[in-house]
Structure 1
């Protein structure tokens, strides 16, 4: 991205995307142009592929993923900030991350930084998840539900989220077989984001313990780095719904066993 693009107000790549590009160039001996598909926004073909897979697996047409939040304890939170970062039911300082995950455990959206005293609605209001939708730049997702045609996708959410058309929640008290079935399918599909949280913490033990840095920026860099590496592991193992069609990655690359992955992660963290 040139300086003229920045001056014109065109969106530029953030520091995490630039670092990811550098890591992949070092790993695959590629030039920067070969990695454009990984550091740019999803295309219409990517969205169509994801929604088609979710329809096949869970039976939800037009679904883009599951949204939820996770808390990361902050062990060395300064005393003056502990009241802000401590939630009543947690008892100790925490920082929140909002994530949208797909069936393949791919994390397509991550927003980290709100204090632990917030709830999921506060975090949603701060994040830019619906920024493109508000600017009418979101991808078109055509599907039919209950005889009505829709052109925008949606996310599955739990009961705390607001009553928005882009957030599909379950029924609190289903009264008939139809709503009971929907509640069972919606809650089963929503487990994918919880599965993604568990795999993310399983891959990186640092996320299972309290954050030690005193700086919020250092903690953010740690979390976003783990999310990026998590997605790279998902893609490397061939489980991604939208695999990267890169000629620089050999088609017959070996899939590492769980023991080998653990050994590599221990070397990275040690």
Structure 2
């Protein structure tokens, strides 16, 4: 560099040499980033849709209904009901052309991508080879599917129990377990969060907080629940109760086993209470085996979206 000779001191020369090195390094990084730009993959979405139909939805499909239910975690009739309901209500699930005029993904493709993630707990791009759904689109499918299914069906399937429902619960649990006034068993399960911030890992942010997310329990706690009176040993009680273990607080609506049973009567009660609570342990076992998104670490970034 001939023009370096015009500088008066060695310090000036060293400064300019350093400056040129930085410029060359930045230029090299820009070139490297340009080389790493995401390549456009021309996915044949329509062919993937046609293959999915031939495999599972055609009159003479390749796989039978048992295979469908095992792989998608629900039967075909429910899947189609979900897909049709979401497609009729939300623009995201409607098949429409993109900016280049090519048809986008169908509703069954987007629902299938969401259910594959929820059912298997796989990475978001694991279904790309079969469904031709990219990682980013798969994340959107899971978000939209979860939120929209809740919005459409929660009033029917996640509604609060009516007085008649509660009476049936009382009757069923008393007949089967011998606990009058029992609403069910209460427990929570641990959900691992792969993207959990380090500052939160020591807290309880990885746990499903059942006490804070159960509408019926909240209504009982705040006194808004309907009158659910039952009688036990000649005493009338206004609200029903849940069976719980020792980790829960001492609420009147929670019936916990004795930690150190001493008398035969207390030992008998504790044995019965713990045997009945096996139902919810089995339920969590079935839940995790069916929906692996609960069994494995979730890959979503936001806590509200995970909930």
Counterpart among 169, 185, 200 of residue 50 in structure 1 = 169
Following superposition, the deviation at residue 16 of structure 1 comes to 9.3
Structure 1 runs not aligned, ≥5 long: 1-14, 25-34, 88-92, 100-123, 221-270
Q: Aligned-pair RMSD on alpha carbons?
A: 3.0
In structure 2, C-alpha distance between the alignment counterparts of 1:73 and 1:18, rounded to whole Å: 21
Larger radius of gyration: 2
Counterpart among 168, 174, 177 of residue 264 in structure 2 = 177
Per the alignment, residue 299 of structure 2 pairs with: 212
Whether contact under 8 Å (1:158, 1:170) holds in the other structure is yes
Asked if residue 159 in structure 1 is aligned to residue 281 in structure 2, the reply is: no
Following superposition, the deviation at residue 98 of structure 1 comes to 3.5
Per the alignment, residue 118 of structure 1 pairs with: none
In structure 2, C-alpha distance between the alignment counterparts of 1:199 and 1:65, rounded to whole Å: 17
More helix by share: 2
**SS of the residue 1:185 aligns to:** helix
Per the alignment, residue 201 of structure 2 pairs with: 85
Q: 1:46 to 1:182 in 2, by over 3 A?
A: same
Q: 1:45 to 1:202 in 2, by over 3 A?
A: same
Per the alignment, residue 281 of structure 2 pairs with: 194
In structure 2, C-alpha distance between the alignment counterparts of 1:21 and 1:215, rounded to whole Å: 18
**SS of the residue 1:149 aligns to:** strand
Number of residue pairs the alignment of both structures matches: 164
Structure 2 runs not aligned, ≥5 long: 1-143
**SS of the residue 1:95 aligns to:** coil
Whether contact under 8 Å (1:47, 1:139) holds in the other structure is no
Q: What is the TM-score when the length of structure 1 is the normalising length?
A: 0.53
Per the alignment, residue 178 of structure 2 pairs with: 59
Higher relative contact order (CA 8 A, sep 6+): 1
In structure 2, C-alpha distance between the alignment counterparts of 1:36 and 1:152, rounded to whole Å: 23
Whether contact under 8 Å (2:160, 2:216) holds in the other structure is no
Q: What is the TM-score when the length of structure 2 is the normalising length?
A: 0.47
**Could you give the per-residue CA deviations for residues 77-129 of structure 1, whole angstroms, max 9, x where no partner exists?**
2xxx2232236xxxxx9611144xxxxxxxxxxxxxxxxxxxxxxxx368655
Q: 1:19 to 1:214 in 2, by over 3 A?
A: closer
